[in-house]
């Protein structure tokens, strides 16, 4: 027996082979270089974190947190699992969230991942069916795969497609309708999808459920992950479910504290029966030390920002910035003639809002699609911007991107610089490709008909870069 792993052992060779395979395919993950968490002390403009409201650098939130911390009876640790030590601060925050969201019950989890895994491994019963969006978060997928639901009863539908959703729901209904109401259908979606910045058509999905399921959807339950919507949308940042007035149509909602709220942890909003069941069966809740008292105090301070209107002001600024980015970038791409095969936005990002004053259609998450996400990310980094490449297996093959996450604390000048640098990078790529093609042909000058990437020579002929 040894604690060392010999490089010649079967295990070491298998592990290394898997890593080498990812290296060859340019999909190997690595931790980024350490950087200051606060935007105030970082040398790079942050276009990658989920700090949408820039609350991590808010003096107002910091002051509120430190004031609460200085008067709190308990600060360090939590003492163990909630089932061993149910801290008063934890119980108080759950009560506050229950009242804030106007729900029957709220249950804290250490993270959104813990919450989704806990819910989907325990609540769906044998014989039930889960219908889910193909882009649903990995935590939901992990929970479903570890659940008691038959793998053949896990039915996906095309992302945000109501037609595909209806067909999946009909398939699910056919699986359970003979049980005389003994089995249920669960529908899992995100209100705002983290990789594409798209919104689930929640209102229309509720209508489809009530149309397709006998008894008005009595045996169908909609679960909405609001991780990326919390603090940004809806009254006082309550999310898109509340924004659409669907609180009483949704069976369970997940809200997280570690993104726009600059804290940590998560909460599931549901009813007393489900809360009681999760306390008894959700292993990701039972068998882990609960959030520390300091973390609970931090989350509590963040909700002060939602209640006093601070978050709403920041959210309006954030979404206005999003509209500015998409409109400016779309116009720039159109005028530069950069081929969509090199740089493009998702189609939904290019659609005009129904109203110039309506910010609810704007998203802080905007993917820049490109087959070369790592070189583009590196170029932006060299120019003082932090925007990370996202590749398979995080996103589908052929959907590589640099994901842009906007924040309330950045400026229009920051956005203009980002757009300018993306266009400059694209120009360099196209010029280098053209030079390589001309060298191969032993010719000089621009080649009529383009370079096989959408007539890239026009970018330079027009002098637009």
DSSP label at 268? E
Q: Is 428 in the same domain as 369? A: yes
Per DSSP, the three-state class of 192 is strand
Q: Name the pairing type of β-strands 266-270 and 252-256.
A: antiparallel
**Residue 437 placed within a domain:** no
Rounded CA separation 37/46 (Å): 10
Q: Is 300 in the same domain as 313? A: no
DSSP label at 110? S
Q: Is 133 in the same domain as 238? A: yes
**Residue 87 placed within a domain:** yes
What are the E-state strand segments in 278-435?
344-345, 365-369, 385-386, 389-390, 401-405
- Residue 41 confidence (pLDDT) above 70: no
Rounded CA separation 110/446 (Å): 58
Q: Is 174 in the same domain as 269? A: yes
Q: Model confidence at 34, in pLDDT bands (50, 70, 90)?
A: confident
Q: Is 270 in the same domain as 328? A: no
**Residue 418 placed within a domain:** yes
Supply angle C-alpha 96, 315, 105, rounded to 5.
20
Tell me: the pLDDT tens digits for 92-147? 999 999 999 999 999 999 999 999 999 999 999 999 999 999 999 999 999 999 99
Rounded CA separation 273/277 (Å): 6
Rounded CA separation 56/58 (Å): 6
DSSP label at 103? -
Which of 22-26, 229-233, 271-275 has the least mean pLDDT? 22-26
**Residue 235 placed within a domain:** yes
Give the model's pLDDT for residue 442. 64
Q: Is 47 in the same domain as 144? A: no
Kindly state the average pLDDT of the residues 256-269.
Answer: 97
**Residue 459 placed within a domain:** no
- Residue 362: give the domain boundaries: 42-56+309-349+358-432
**Residue 7 placed within a domain:** no
Task: Work out whether the CA dihedral 361, 367, 370, 376 comes out positive or negative.
Answer: positive
Q: Is 265 in the same domain as 118? A: yes
CATH number of the domain encompassing residue 213? 3.40.640.10
Of 8 and 323, the one with more pLDDT: 323
Record the pTM: 0.88
% residues pLDDT > 70 (the chain):
89
Give the model's pLDDT for residue 217. 55
Kindly state the average pLDDT of the residues 337-352.
Answer: 81
Give the model's pLDDT for residue 358. 76
Q: Is 94 in the same domain as 177? A: yes
Tokens of 465: 């870069």
For the chain, the domain total comes to: 2
% residues pLDDT > 90 (the chain):
74
Give the model's pLDDT for residue 459. 47
Give the model's pLDDT for residue 226. 98
Q: Model confidence at 6, in pLDDT bands (50, 70, 90)?
A: confident
Give the model's pLDDT for residue 156. 97
**Residue 2 placed within a domain:** no
CATH number of the domain encompassing residue 417? 3.90.1150.10
| CA neighbor of 323 nearest in space, from 243, 412, 237, 390 | 412
**Residue 156 placed within a domain:** yes
Q: Is 151 in the same domain as 218? A: yes
Of 349 and 447, the one with more pLDDT: 349
Kindly state the average pLDDT of the residues 198-205.
Answer: 97
Q: Is 116 in the same domain as 153? A: yes
Tokens of 66: 């430190």
Give the model's pLDDT for residue 449. 38
Is the bond into 393 cis (omega within 30 degrees of 0)? yes
Give the model's pLDDT for residue 350. 61
Q: Is 288 in the same domain as 315? A: no
Q: Is 333 in the same domain as 407? A: yes
- Residue 74 confidence (pLDDT) above 50: yes
- 418: alpha, beta or left, given left = phi > 0 and alpha = psi -120 to 50? alpha
Tell me: the pLDDT tens digits for 384-395? 999 999 998 888
């Amino acid at each position: 027996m040894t604690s060392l792993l010999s490089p010649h052992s079967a295990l070491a060779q298998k592990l290394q082979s898997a890593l080498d395979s990812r290296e060859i395919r340019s999909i190997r993950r690595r931790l980024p270089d350490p950087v200051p968490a606060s935007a105030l002390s970082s040398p790079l403009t942050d276009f990658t974190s989920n700090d949408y409201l820039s609350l991590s650098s808010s003096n107002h939130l910091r002051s509120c947190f430190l004031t609460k911390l200085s008067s709190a009876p308990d600060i360090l640790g939590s003492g163990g699992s909630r089932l061993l030590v149910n801290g008063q601060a934890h119980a108080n925050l759950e009560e506050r969230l229950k009242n804030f969201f106007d729900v029957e019950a709220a249950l804290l989890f250490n993270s959104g991942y813990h919450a989704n895994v806990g819910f989907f491994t325990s609540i769906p019963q044998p014989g039930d069916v889960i219908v889910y969006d193909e882009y649903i978060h990995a935590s939901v997928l992990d929970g479903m795969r570890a659940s008691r639901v038959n793998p053949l009863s896990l039915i996906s539908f095309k992302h945000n497609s109501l037609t595909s959703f209806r067909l999946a729901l009909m398939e699910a209904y056919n699986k359970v309708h003979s049980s005389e109401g003994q089995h249920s259908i669960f529908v899992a979606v995100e209100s705002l999808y983290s990789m594409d910045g798209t919104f689930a058509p929640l209102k229309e999905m509720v209508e489809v459920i009530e149309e397709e399921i006998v008894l008005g959807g009595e045996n169908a339950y909609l679960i909405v992950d609001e991780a990326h919507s919390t603090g940004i949308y809806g009254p006082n940042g309550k999310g898109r479910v509340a924004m659409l007035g669907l609180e009483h149509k949704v069976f369970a909602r997940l809200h997280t504290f570690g993104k726009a709220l600059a804290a940590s942890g998560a909460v599931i909003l549901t009813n007393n029966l489900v809360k009681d069941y999760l306390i008894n069966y959700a292993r990701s809740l039972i068998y882990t030390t609960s959030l520390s008292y300091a973390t609970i105090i931090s989350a509590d301070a963040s909700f002060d920002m939602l209640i006093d209107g601070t978050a709403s002001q920041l959210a309006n600024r954030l979404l206005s910035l999003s509209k500015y980015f998409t409109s400016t970038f779309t116009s720039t791409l159109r005028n530069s003639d950069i081929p969509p095969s090199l740089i493009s936005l998702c189609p939904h990002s290019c659609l005009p809002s129904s109203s110039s004053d309506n910010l609810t259609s704007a998203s802080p998450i905007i993917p820049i699609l490109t087959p070369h996400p790592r070189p583009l990310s590196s170029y932006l980094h060299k120019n003082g911007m932090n925007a990370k490449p996202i590749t398979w297996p995080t996103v589908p093959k052929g959907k590589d991107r640099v994901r842009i996450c906007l924040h309330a604390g950045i400026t229009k000048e920051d956005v203009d610089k980002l757009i300018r640098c993306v266009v400059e990078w694209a120009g360099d790529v196209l010029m280098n490709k053209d030079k390589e093609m001309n060298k191969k042909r032993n010719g000089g000058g621009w080649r009529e008909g383009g370079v096989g990437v959408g007539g890239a020579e026009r970018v330079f002929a027009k002098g637009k870069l």
